[in-house]
Amino acid sequence: MVEKNILEAVKKVIEESPKRNFSESVDLAINLKNLDMNQPKNRVDEEVILPHGLGKELKIGVFAKGDVGLKAKDAGAAYVISDVELEELAADKSRARILANECDLFIAETQFMPIIGKNLGVVLGPRGKMPIPLMPNMDIAELIKSKQNAVKLRSKDRLTFHVPVGRRDMSAEDLAENIETIMARLERVLDKGKHNLRSVYVTTTMGISKRVM
């Protein structure tokens, strides 16, 4: 059972925001307090699996070859980058930037990680898109499936940051549950829990916002 105030805020945002001719994202604006963000230990950097996903398919790029590459493609990877293509990307930063902007996240076989770090770190790092390592005992299909429902909470050195929680065409109940999941994680990882949360607002891409905390 979701909290009444969160559900009501989501319903108002959906009902009162003007209709748009595209599928809008629903986001949280999170405002922290009483934290020195110059201290890395106070920065939020968490991955959260949303119970109802984001309401859209994420574009996932996978650095792999052979059977792993084939399995990644079958599992819905938007791009599978082989060792040969990785070398080409390393030599063409413009093409690498296009790929980085196209994909929501990347996964890579561990053997590729040093090469990616050395040659593409400057492109992927600032975007927060350095690949998730695929360890030898992990199944690429299962990893892709889990990442489809995941979001990153990244404050960097700021007290205010945003995170998507779904799409406007999802049900208010599903969006509210996604929000609760994120809030629960924040309260667990922040030094003083909810006392480090100044406020949290829910909003659509081009609509109104309502406070949920």
Which residues of the chain are in CATH 3.30.190.20 domains? 4-55+149-211
Pick the CATH number of 60-147 from 1.20.20.10, 2.70.40.10, 3.40.50.790, 3.30.430.20: 3.40.50.790
Residue 46 β-bridge partners: 153
CA-CA distance, 150 to 157, in Å (whole number)?
A: 22
DSSP one-letter code for 19: P
pLDDT tens for 154-208 read 999 999 999 999 999 999 999 999 999 999 999 999 999 999 999 999 999 989 9
CA-CA distance, 4 to 179, in Å (whole number)?
A: 12
User: Given this model, what pLDDT does residue 211 score?
Assistant: 96
User: Given this model, what pLDDT does residue 1 score?
Assistant: 65
Share of the chain above pLDDT 90, in %: 89
For the domain covering 4-55+149-211, report its CATH number: 3.30.190.20
The token pair that represents 199 in the structure block:
């406020």
Spatial CA neighbour of 56 closest among 163, 151, 166:
166
List phi, psi (to 5°) of 148.
-65, -25
Which residues of the chain are in CATH 3.40.50.790 domains? 60-147
The answer to whether residues 206 and 38 touch, using CB atoms and an 8 Å cutoff, is no
Q: Which stretches of the chain are DSSP H helices?
A: 4-16, 66-74, 83-91, 93-102, 113-124, 140-147, 172-189
Average pLDDT over residues 102-116: 95
- pLDDT band, residue 59 (cuts 50/70/90): very high
Residue 166: CB atoms within 10 Å: 24
